[in-house]
């Protein structure tokens, strides 16, 4: 498609800052730039530490979602998991209570400043709360080396893990860990090795993962993410990049269009916010999200508006990324 003029995007652009119920990924407030196109509202929200080259793919996804009709769905709703930040074990029940009917929980581990004992206590608390029929997966965000990851697998052997997401940072490390833990039959899922890689298919070619985690914004949009899943020939889990409800609708469009969906998706993350841009927010009901675009509340956009300085920062970033896409 032809890239719309910057002025067309800026005309409806609104920058928001959403307060979080619990610190997550080191932040207590999530910023995002929202804008409206012919197909509806969309979101541009690369994390603030990302460079313009990486952030440009997020803008390509946002423009595609706002200006183009999305691929047809093959399912009517999307099952999602609960997401448990790196909280003390005692806080686990309160976190899970924010996710209505979710049968799966993803638990953050390998948090800077915490220990494996903290992780084990948190995971066991989640397992106890979910019961034997619940599914528990963990996400280390590449925070372990191979030896540390193998040790963690030993320590969590009784937690009946569904899979381990990005236990190590590099593809070589993932491949080595996969070889070491083969006897436990615990799949490895690749996230950062897909969405942050110059070649998102390298991890599949290396036999370093059993599952790919795909996120619509970082991969350049729903269509590009579908292509990557098809070429990887691995089961896929659609996840959120801590999007607002507007961005989550892009994720549900991706998950709904996948030919196969064997795992619950990580799109229930609106439950991590104290307040979202839409009422009601796109939160799980009976463990699933509905399909369809989300329109932000005008009053919510005003109440959650970022400061003038942060708004100017995002608009400048938008301009730079737009210039990269226009080349």
Cα gap 304→14, rounded to integer Å: 10
Are 303 and 214 found together in one domain? Answer: no
Residue 196 falls in the annotated catalytic set = no
Cα gap 259→225, rounded to integer Å: 12
Are 308 and 286 found together in one domain? Answer: no
Are 127 and 274 found together in one domain? Answer: yes
- 157 lies in a domain? yes
Are 87 and 54 found together in one domain? Answer: no
Are 127 and 28 found together in one domain? Answer: no
Tokens, residue 109? 């581990």
- 17 lies in a domain? yes
What's 188's domain CATH number?
3.20.20.120
Cα gap 263→162, rounded to integer Å: 9
**Binding-site entries for Mg(2+):** 139, 165, 191
**Furthest-apart CA pair in the chain: how many Å?**
56
Are 112 and 217 found together in one domain? Answer: yes
Are 196 and 282 found together in one domain? Answer: yes
Q: Tens digits of per-residue pLDDT, 136-167?
A: 999 999 999 999 999 999 999 999 999 999 99
Q: Tens digits of per-residue pLDDT, 187-230?
A: 999 999 999 888 999 999 999 999 999 999 999 999 999 999 99
Q: Tens digits of per-residue pLDDT, 29-51?
A: 999 999 999 999 999 999 999 99
- 196 lies in a domain? yes
Residue 108 falls in the annotated catalytic set = yes
Are 83 and 23 found together in one domain? Answer: no
Residue of 63, 48, 51 lying closest to 2 (CA atoms)? 63
Residue 131 contacts by C-beta under 8 Å, 6 or more apart in sequence?
none
Residue 18's CB is within 10 A of a number of other CB atoms, namely 24
pLDDT value of position 26: 77
pLDDT value of position 272: 94
What's 63's domain CATH number?
3.30.390.10
Lowest mean pLDDT of 24-28, 65-69, 234-238, name the range: 24-28
**Binding-site entries:** 139, 165, 191
pLDDT value of position 197: 83
**What is the count of structural domains for the chain?**
2
Are 133 and 274 found together in one domain? Answer: yes
> Above 80 in pLDDT, residue 234?
yes
- 1 lies in a domain? no
Q: Tens digits of per-residue pLDDT, 266-315?
A: 999 999 999 999 999 999 999 999 999 999 999 999 999 999 999 999 99
Of 30, 98, 215, 283, the catalytic one is 215
Domain carrying residue 109: 77-295
Q: What percent of the chain has pLDDT over 70?
A: 100
**Helix 222-232 × helix 52-67 angle, to 10°:** 110
| Mean pLDDT (whole number) for 54-67 | 98
Of 108, 135, 178, 283, the catalytic one is 108
Cα gap 115→17, rounded to integer Å: 31
Are 270 and 309 found together in one domain? Answer: no
Are 57 and 100 found together in one domain? Answer: no
């Amino acid at each position: 498609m032809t890239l719309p003029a910057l002025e067309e995007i800026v005309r409806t652009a609104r920058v928001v800052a959403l307060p979080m119920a619990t610190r997550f990924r080191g932040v207590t407030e999530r910023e995002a730039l929202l804008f409206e196109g012919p197909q509806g509202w969309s979101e541009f929200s690369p994390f603030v530490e990302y460079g313009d080259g990486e952030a440009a793919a997020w803008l390509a996804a946002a423009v595609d979602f706002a200006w183009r009709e999305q691929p047809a769905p093959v399912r009517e709703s999307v099952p999602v998991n609960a997401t448990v930040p790196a909280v003390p074990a005692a806080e686990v029940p309160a976190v899970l209570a924010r996710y209505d009917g979710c049968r799966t929980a993803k638990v953050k581990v390998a948090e800077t400043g915490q220990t494996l004992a903290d992780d084990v206590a948190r995971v066991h608390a989640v397992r106890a709360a979910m019961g034997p029929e619940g599914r528990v997966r963990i996400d280390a965000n590449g925070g372990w080396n191979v030896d540390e990851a193998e040790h963690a697998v030993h320590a969590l052997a009784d937690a009946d893990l569904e899979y381990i997401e990005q236990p190590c940072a590099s593809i070589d490390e993932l491949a080595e860990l996969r070889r070491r833990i083969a006897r436990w039959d615990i799949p490895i899922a690749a996230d950062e090795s897909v969405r942050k890689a110059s070649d998102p298919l390298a991890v599949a070619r290396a036999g370093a993962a059993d599952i790919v985690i795909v996120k619509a914004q970082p991969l350049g949009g729903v269509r590009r993410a579908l292509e990557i899943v098809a070429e990887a020939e691995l089961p896929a889990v659609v996840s959120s990049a801590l999007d607002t409800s507007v961005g989550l609708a892009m994720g549900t469009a991706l998950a709904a269009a996948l030919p196969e969906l064997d795992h619950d998706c990580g799109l229930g993350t609106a439950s991590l916010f104290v307040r979202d841009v839409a009422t009601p927010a796109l939160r799980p009901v009976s463990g699933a999200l509905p399909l369809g675009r989300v329109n932000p509340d005008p009053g919510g956009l005003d109440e959650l508006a970022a400061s003038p300085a942060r708004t100017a920062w995002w608009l400048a970033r938008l301009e730079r990324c737009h210039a990269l896409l226009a080349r």
